Amino acid sequence: MELRGFFPPQDGTRAGRWVKCPCNIRSGYGCKPMMTKIKRQKSGAAFTLVELLVVIGVIALLIGMLLPALSRSRQQSNSVVCQSNLRQIGLAMLMYADQYDGFLFPSDMGYDPQHVIPYPDTGAPGTIHNVWPLVVFGVWNPPVMVCPTDQEPLEQHSYVVNSHMAYWNVKYSSVLPQQMSPSNIVLMGEKVTLVGDYYMEYGDFGRVVEEFRHGQEFGSNYLMLDLHVTTQLPNEAESALDPWDFAAGITPPTAPNGGTGS
């Protein structure tokens, strides 16, 4: 059945007329808007509570999957910066060795009462740090001595040098004990945050060295004697020994200048 709508006269002179209603709905005058259908369509397009909960669950699942990846990426980024720090320290040590007969660092300027002391009683606050970075870098706390993963390390440094180098008078170009390769000798590594030591001394590996600075998966970064940097996990087979002791556990001779400081 065809529906028609009645349109009243527009100018007051012509009679009204019936025309075909395009929407097939007749009202008193003309076509009746299809508001009912439009409202129903809008109502059908809205989210139900169940659908909303499903969307929220999917978003939460995606976040849970992405957070570990972001954390891993941040760890790797901090590790790369740490490696860069160690390379820069290695170059500074090499410049020091050019002036000091091949020795890569001062052997007796560590965290002890002779080298880390309060200012004289002049009213000035702070502490005097006469430690080995002061000689190598010109300042006692250069930024490259702090790993970005190490939050507020004691004495503003994250790294310690291997005192076995001094015990055995090892220089940059020395022939090594046990015919070891320089690429296998640790020159510097990462220290425990709350330890202030500047040297990893004989028997102190477990107390001083941080083996997992960059997580259980990555371990810590090490500057080797040939000045390359590597990331390593601790060797469980050598857990009872000091892996920095390249003399294979032999008690070291007396260090130069009467021994090294912490």
| Tens-place pLDDT, residues 195-247 | 999 999 888 888 999 989 888 877 899 999 999 999 888 764 344 456 677 76
pLDDT at 106: 93
Whole-Å CA distances, 119 to 44, 110, 128, 262 = 78, 17, 6, 20
Could you tell me if 160 and 220 are in contact, meaning their C-beta atoms sit under 8 angstroms apart? no
Average pLDDT over residues 6-24: 54
pLDDT: which is higher, 1 or 243: 243
pLDDT at 158: 96
pLDDT: which is higher, 124 or 210: 210
pTM: 0.69
Cα 242 from Cα 160, distance rounded (Å): 14
pLDDT tens-digit map of 60-100: 888 877 777 666 777 788 899 999 999 999 999 999 999 99
pLDDT at 165: 87
The pLDDT of residue 103 is above 60: yes
Average pLDDT value over all residues in the chain: 78
DSSP, res 146: S
Coil, helix or strand for 6?
Answer: strand
